[in-house]
Structure 1
Amino acid sequence: MVAMLKPLVSIVIPVFNGANYLEQAVASALQQTYENVEVIVVNDGSSDGGSTERVARKFGSAIRYYDKPNGGVASALNFAIQKMEGRYFSWLSHDDVYRLDKIERQMAYLCNHDLDDVVVYSDYDIFSDDDIDRSVTVRMPAISPRYFRYWITASSQLHGCSLLIPRAVFDKVGGFDESLRTTQDYELWFRMSRYFEFRYLPGVAVAARSHARQDTRKLTAIVQAETSRLYGDFVRQLGSDDIPPDPTAACSYLSLASSLWQRGFRDAALRAETLAISAGAARRAVILRRLLAKLLLLARALARKVISPRHRQSLQAICKEILFRDGR
């Protein structure tokens, strides 16, 4: 049982051309208040003339450093999973920063509740480049494990670096899908949640940096196409037991379709609408919810241009209340 000892936690940092931010990330991992951690840095074939390696080498034996040919973040994470000695896995992107009590709080939660093979997720901050003092906090909901697969399909909020994952979970479901460029994390969380519970621990675990050099900002078309396919697969895999019945399954499918339309995932949204109609939703209600969602999609695009991130966060909360009021 977790309560009997302080198991080793492996903090894994994959990096590609990340010399600008890597030092801050590694420092936040090494300064964790939880005493039993190992920090693994995997250089995924950086092409910056050795700059990333020089930053990592500064930490000497305090970290375990590996250099491998470039294969993408999923391959770097899988490489680290094979090398890790810890009983728990915690991912830290090279451009993000852990709160210093991230591991301690999550391990204490597992210990206090006598939980073993459970994935813990928490809140996170988003900040722009180096302006960490003006971050926006994203609060996660406490989702029933029974409906977690529905929630992860209806929402894109879960941040992988806020998670703490038992090694046994990878032994059961496998690692990250290396064929995916940008959605390897959500595909794995969906797969994990079929067999393991995800439990919410309130409190910020990580500060996530938003900057122009991120893959998801440089590869917009690739991200959209890959994500659209992924969510289409999610909707097809949802079973009747995954759908919240409160107030009705039809309402939950409608809310799911609205969320998918709002994020621009047309095929997945149409599939969710078909399921809503099969569950008893009126076609008129389906059309009205679709129109509302498309209006919100346009409003979101406009908001990105004219409204600050902090104010957008408040508006998103209002929109979610409208979309999910009768479906969750």
Structure 2
Amino acid sequence: MSDGGSVLAVVPTLGERVDTLGAALASVRSQEGVDVRLVVVVPQDAAEAREIAAQYQAVIIDDPKRGLSAAVNAGIAAARMESYFSWIGDDDELRPGGLRALVDLIERESAVVAFGACDYMDGDNHVFAVSRAGDWATRVLAWGPDLIPQPASITRLADIRAVGPFDETLRFVMDLDMFLRLRRRGRFVSTPKTVASYRWHPDALTVANRDVSIAEAESVKRKYLPAPLRPLAPAWHLPVRLAINVVSSRLSKRARARVRVSL
């Protein structure tokens, strides 16, 4: 395949999830029908994670140690002639054929971003829910929750370069900020096909962190609203905040229930 359809796949890791890193990298390496440049951003002292990355013939980049956004930016800086960009966490996975499906979609529709459905899986790789918001995710992006599953999306690298790197001042919603900038560049398109899996950790997000994440998202969304609408933003922030907390709680309960059943 020519570079016209190739994908830069970045996997940032702190080297702490070596039990899932191999599966994440294997899911990228096993993608068929598309050329993939696999880049792993990892701290210099994470020896085991670097060994795993080498086993999967990944390009290894030192973590700049300025947070997740900086790590993803470091991965993007390692691009060559790839046309598209994808990144997944070190415990997420791509589904077979996922990247090919997204590349076909983004090229057919001449879009800026393409995304698909995303499984939610627990620590035992059991799927307990599916994120399949489709085009509705794009419609509510500016004011509602971010329903675009990052592991299940690809973006044109040219458009990322045009809007600038991920914002390194953001801790939780760097993807939302990037998507809102990219919306000004062109269309977002979706497919109901499941193209990735996101591992849900029911105990990873404390209530405090969730509140901080929601507050950060509200600040970002307000920034991209037209000036006359910004004073009205609190009117819909409260119901969105409530909806996010309800959905997150339900997902955590499902994940915990799966754990109890497997014991």
Measured against the shorter chain, the TM-score band is 0.7 to 0.9
- Give RMSD over aligned pairs: 3.3
Q: 1:221 aligns with which of 189, 192, 208?
A: 208
Question: Do structure 1's residue 123 and structure 2's residue 123 form an aligned pair?
Answer: no
Amino acid at match of 1:16: L
Amino acid at match of 1:121: F
Distance in 2 between residues matched to 1:52 and 1:197, nearest whole Å: 37
Distance in 2 between residues matched to 1:155 and 1:27, nearest whole Å: 31
Cross-structure match for 1:57: 54
Cross-structure match for 2:191: 201
Deviations 1:66-103 (A, max 9, x none): 22342221111101111112111011211101011111
Distance in 1 between residues matched to 2:228 and 2:105, nearest whole Å: 28
Higher relative contact order (CA 8 A, sep 6+): 2
Could you say which structure has the larger radius of gyration? Answer: 1
Identical amino acids, percent of aligned pairs: 19
Whether the 8 Å contact between 1:129 and 1:209 is mirrored in structure 2 is yes
Distance in 1 between residues matched to 2:129 and 2:105, nearest whole Å: 25
In the TM superposition, residue 126 of structure 1 has moved relative to its aligned partner by 0.4
Question: Do structure 1's residue 238 and structure 2's residue 233 form an aligned pair?
Answer: no
Amino acid at match of 2:25: V
Q: Which has the higher helix share?
A: 1
Distance in 1 between residues matched to 2:239 and 2:216, nearest whole Å: 17
Q: 2:171 aligns with which of 172, 178, 181?
A: 181
Q: 1:9 aligns with which of 7, 11, 17?
A: 7
Q: Describe the SS at the equivalent of 1:234.
A: helix
Cross-structure match for 2:73: 78
In the TM superposition, residue 7 of structure 1 has moved relative to its aligned partner by 2.2
In the TM superposition, residue 231 of structure 1 has moved relative to its aligned partner by 0.9
The alignment's TM-score, normalised by the length of structure 2, stands at: 0.82
1:1-328 alignment, distance < 5 Å: 6-17=4-15, 18-43=17-42, 45=43, 48=46, 50-59=47-56, 62-85=57-80, 86-113=82-109, 115=110, 117-132=111-126, 134-143=127-136, 148=139, 150-211=140-201, 214=204, 217=205, 220-235=207-222, 237-239=224-226, 257-263=238-244, 307-308=253-254
Q: Describe the SS at the equivalent of 1:187.
A: helix
Amino acid at match of 1:224: D
Residues 235 and 31 from structure 1, CA distance in 2 versus in 1: closer, same or farther, beyond 3 angstroms?
Answer: same
Amino acid at match of 2:219: G
In the TM superposition, residue 302 of structure 1 has moved relative to its aligned partner by 7.2
Unaligned runs of 5+ in 1: 243-249, 265-296, 312-328
In the TM superposition, residue 47 of structure 1 has moved relative to its aligned partner by 5.4
Deviations 1:244-298 (A, max 9, x none): xxxxxx9x9966652234446xxxxxxxxxxxxxxxxxxxxxxxxxxxxxxxx5x
Residues 153 and 309 from structure 1, CA distance in 2 versus in 1: closer, same or farther, beyond 3 angstroms?
Answer: farther
Distance in 2 between residues matched to 1:235 and 1:229, nearest whole Å: 10
Unaligned runs of 5+ in 2: 258-263
Distance in 2 between residues matched to 1:76 and 1:23, nearest whole Å: 19
